[in-house]
Amino acid sequence: MSVYGRVRVGVMNYILGRPLVRGLVTRRSDEVDILEDVPARVGEMLTVGRLDTAIAPIAVILQAPGVDVVPGLGVSCDGPVQSIRLFHKAPLSELRRVALDGSSRSGAMLARIVLERFEGARPEYVGRPPVLLDMLADCDGALLIGDPALTAPTDLAPHVDLGELWKRRTGLGFVFAMWGLRPGLSQQKRERIAELLEWSLSVGEEELEEIVVEESARIGLPPDEVRAYLGERIRYRLGPNAMNGLKLFTRLAVEQGLLPPDAGVRWLSSSPPRALGRRVREGATARGRGEEGSLAALLEHGNLLDLGAAADELRFRLHPEPVVTYVVDRNINYTNVCVSGCRFCAFYRREGDPDAFVLTTDEVLRKVGELVDAGGTQVLMQGGLHPKLGLDWICALVRDIKSAYPSVDVHSLSPPEVVHYARTEGLPVRVVVERLREAGLSSLPGGGAEILSDRVRGAVSPHKCTADEWLGVMREVAAVGMRGTATMVFGHVETMAERAEHLLRIRDLQDETGVFTAFIPWTFQPANTDLADLPPAGGHDYLRTLAVSRLALPNVPNIQASWVTQGAAIAQLALRFGANDLGGTMMEENVVAAAGCRFRVSVEELRAIAEEAGFELRQRRTDYGGA
C-alpha cells in the first residue's frame, strides 16, 4: 500500500485505549500510523486534520464541525470505572478550589456537572499536572483521569468515582470518547476506516488476556484489576444506556454553558455495518445451506430473544441515538374500483358496484388541507387499478395537490399502480415514473410487494404485477432520482424460503440502487377476505420476522413497526426487535370533524409507547429527515 494511503490514527495514551487499537497495532502496521497522546491533544490533532481518525474525547466530538463519528464504538462506563476520580478534602458541596488535569476536558466537564449541578458547589477551577500530592497542596479538590487515576495513592484524601456517581444520579452510562473522522475524507475511506476500527476492537476483545498481561506489567497493577477494568468497567460498545447518558450529558453541559447550544454528534451516515450483519447471519445460521436456506431457518426456528438482541444491536449501530420516528400522514384512497381482484383484499369493488367510488379533485384537496392543518406532512394516496382513470388524470391530481400545498410530501401510488398505468397507456415504466416525478410525486410507497415470489403471487394476487415487474418499477424510481419503500405481507401461503427470497431480492436491489428508505413487514390480515380461513400470524412470528428483516437488510436504513396490524403492545416490543420507526399516524379517511382529536390521541399513544421503551419520539418527513 502506498504511503499516501496510510491511515493516521490517534488514541489516548491510557491503557484503556489498547483494546481499541489492538488489531491495528498487531496486524496492520503496514497500513496505519498510530499516535498516542493525552486525550485533549489527540482530539485537537483530529480537528485540525492531522489525524484521519482518533478516539476523541466527547468534549471535542460534541463541538467539532465536520467531524463525523463512527456509531456503536467508543469508551464508556456504566457505573464505577476507577479511572475518573475526584479526590476531596471537604464535602463535595463545599469544595472551593478544584485542581483539574488539563489532559481531559470531558472529564473536567463531568466533574463540573457533578459538583455544580448535582452537589450545588461553586468552586474555582485551576489546571494542574496530574500529581495528586501537588494538586492537593493548594486545592481542596483534585480530579484525576486515566492511568494517573488508576494508580493514584488513595490514602491522601477521600475520593469519589465519577462514573459511579453519574450512574447513581442518572441511572445511565457515561461516554468518554468516540471515534471521530477528519473532515474531508472520501466516503469510501470513511467506511473503510470504520470497518477497520470495528475489526481492530474485535481483535482486542479476543486478545484481552494478552493485553492484560502486557499492561499490568507496564503500569504496575495486578492483572485481576486490569482485567476487571478493561474487561468489565470500560465498555467499548455503546448501547442505549450509554447513548442516553451521552444525550443527558450533552443537555446538562449546554445548560451549564460548558458546550455551545448547537453541541451534538454528527454520525457517519450510511456506515453500512455489513460486517456486523454478515457476522450475525453467519453465526446464527451456520447450519443452513445457502444464505436463502439459512435465512429461512432463522425465520422458522431462530431463537426469538437472540434474534431480538442481534437486531437491536444492528439497529443501534445504524441509529445510534435512542430515537423513534413517525410521520403524520393521511391515507387517501382515491378510488375503490379495481381490476386486480386480489384474494386477500377486503376493500376493492368492481366498476358499477353500488358502493364503488372515485374521489373528485376537490374532495382530495379538502382532505389534504385537513392533513396540513393538523400538522401533517405526507399524503399516502392509493387507489384501485381503475380501468378508465389514466396517467394524465393522476398526474393532474398530484400537480393540483402540490400547487395547493407545496410543502406536502406526496408519497403515493405503488408499483402495481405504476405498472397498470404503463399498460393502459402503452408507455414504458420509465416514462410513467418520470411523468409522476415531474407532476410532483415525492416518493413511491412499496405496496403490492406482498411476497416477491411468482408462485406466491400466482396463488394470492394473480392479476397483480409480477415480482420482476415490482422490482423493475423500483429500479426506474431510482433511475429518475426518487426513492421509495419496500413492504412484505407475510403469514399467508408463502413458505419460509419464499419469505427469505423476498428479503434477499430487496437487499440485492438496494445494493444495486439504494432506492429504499425503509422496509415495512406486516402480517396478512385474513378477516373479510377470500383467505379468511387462514389463521392469523402471531406475535412471535411477527417479531421474529421483523428481527430477521433487520438483520437481512443492513443496507436498508429504516425498519417500520406496524402498530396498525400488531397493536400497541407488539409495536412497542418491536422497537427492541429491530424497528426504529412507527410509521404514519394514518389520519382516518372517514373521520372528519373529529380527525384532529383522533390524530392527537394517536401521537400521544405513540409517544407513550416510545418513551416507556426508552426512546424519544420524533416527527419525521417522508425522507426520514426531521419534520
Partner 1 sequence: MPGNVESGTTLDRPLTGDVADLEEKVLAGERLGLADLVRLYRTPDILALGRMANRVRERKNGNRTYFIVNAHINPTNICVNECRFCAFSRSAGADGAYAMSLEEVRERARALRGRPLSEVHVVGGLHPDWPYDRYLDVLRAIREELPEAHLQAYTAVEVAHIAERGGVTVERALRDMVEAGLGSLPGGGAEVFDREIRSALCPRKLSPEAWLDVHRTAHRIGLRSNATMLYGHVETAEQRADHLARLREVQDETGGFLAFIPLAYHPENTPLGGKRASGYEDLRNLAVARVALDDFDHVKAFWIMLGLKMAQVSQAFGVDDLDGTVVEERITHSAGAETPQALTREELVGLIREAGREPVERDTLYNVVRHEGADP
Chain contacts with partner 1 (rule: CB under 8 A): 78-79, 116-121, 169-173, 239-241, 244, 248, 251-252, 301, 304-305, 308-309, 312, 535, 538-543, 566-570, 572-573, 576, 608-609, 611-614
Query: Which region holds residue 11: left if phi is over 0, alpha if psi is between -120 and 50, else beta?
Result: beta
Closest CA relative to residue 486, chosen from 431, 386, 557, 547:
557
* Cα 473 from chain centroid (whole Å): 27
Q: How far is the CB of 320 from partner 1 (least distance, A)?
A: 14
Q: What are phi and psi of 56, to 5 degrees?
A: -95, 145
Q: How far is the CB of 119 from partner 1 (least distance, A)?
A: 7
Distance of alpha carbon 60 from alpha carbon 44, whole angstroms: 8
Q: How far is the CB of 565 from partner 1 (least distance, A)?
A: 10
Instruction: Quickly tell me which residue has 474555582 as its cell.
Output: 124
Instruction: Quickly tell me which residue has 423500483 as its cell.
Output: 474
Q: How far is the CB of 544 from partner 1 (least distance, A)?
A: 9
Q: How far is the CB of 611 from partner 1 (least distance, A)?
A: 6
Q: How far is the CB of 241 from partner 1 (least distance, A)?
A: 4
If the CB atoms of residues 217 and 568 are measured against partner 1, the closer one turns out to be: 568
If the CB atoms of residues 372 and 534 are measured against partner 1, the closer one turns out to be: 534
Distance of alpha carbon 427 from alpha carbon 411, whole angstroms: 22
3-state secondary structure (DSSP) of residue 18: helix
Q: Which residues on adjacent β-strands are paired with residue 35?
A: 10
If the CB atoms of residues 213 and 569 are measured against partner 1, the closer one turns out to be: 569
If the CB atoms of residues 45 and 165 are measured against partner 1, the closer one turns out to be: 165
| Residue 86 grid coordinates | 475526584
Quick one: DSSP state of residue 337? B
Q: How far is the CB of 190 from partner 1 (least distance, A)?
A: 29
Provide DSSP, 390-401.
Answer: -HHHHHHHHHHH
If the CB atoms of residues 265 and 268 are measured against partner 1, the closer one turns out to be: 265
If the CB atoms of residues 67 and 115 are measured against partner 1, the closer one turns out to be: 115
| Residue 277 grid coordinates | 450483519
Question: Nearest 5°: CA angle at 380, between 350 and 550?
Answer: 110
Q: How far is the CB of 528 from partner 1 (least distance, A)?
A: 17
Q: How far is the CB of 346 from partner 1 (least distance, A)?
A: 20
Distance of alpha carbon 39 from alpha carbon 56, whole angstroms: 6
Q: How far is the CB of 575 from partner 1 (least distance, A)?
A: 9
If the CB atoms of residues 316 and 334 are measured against partner 1, the closer one turns out to be: 316
| Residue 488 grid coordinates | 412484505
* 3 state SS for 546-605: HHHHHHHCCCCCEEECCHHHHHHHHHHHHCCCCCCEEEECCECCCCCCCHHHHHHHHHHH
Cβ atoms of 317 and 276 within 8 Å: the answer is: yes
If the CB atoms of residues 181 and 579 are measured against partner 1, the closer one turns out to be: 579
Q: How far is the CB of 620 from partner 1 (least distance, A)?
A: 22
Task: Beginning with the edge strand found earlier in the chain, give each strand of the sheet holding 329-333 in spatial order.
Answer: 329-333, 378-382, 409-410
Instruction: Quickly tell me which residue has 450509554 as its cell.
Output: 242
If the CB atoms of residues 1 and 305 are measured against partner 1, the closer one turns out to be: 305
Q: How far is the CB of 582 from partner 1 (least distance, A)?
A: 14
3-state secondary structure (DSSP) of residue 97: strand
* Cα 143 from chain centroid (whole Å): 35
Strand ranges (E), 182-304? 235-237
If the CB atoms of residues 312 and 498 are measured against partner 1, the closer one turns out to be: 312
- The residue type at 215: E
| Residue 173 grid coordinates | 452510562
Q: HSE of 626 in the Cβ direction (CA atoms, 13 Å)?
A: 1
If the CB atoms of residues 214 and 306 are measured against partner 1, the closer one turns out to be: 306
If the CB atoms of residues 464 and 576 are measured against partner 1, the closer one turns out to be: 576
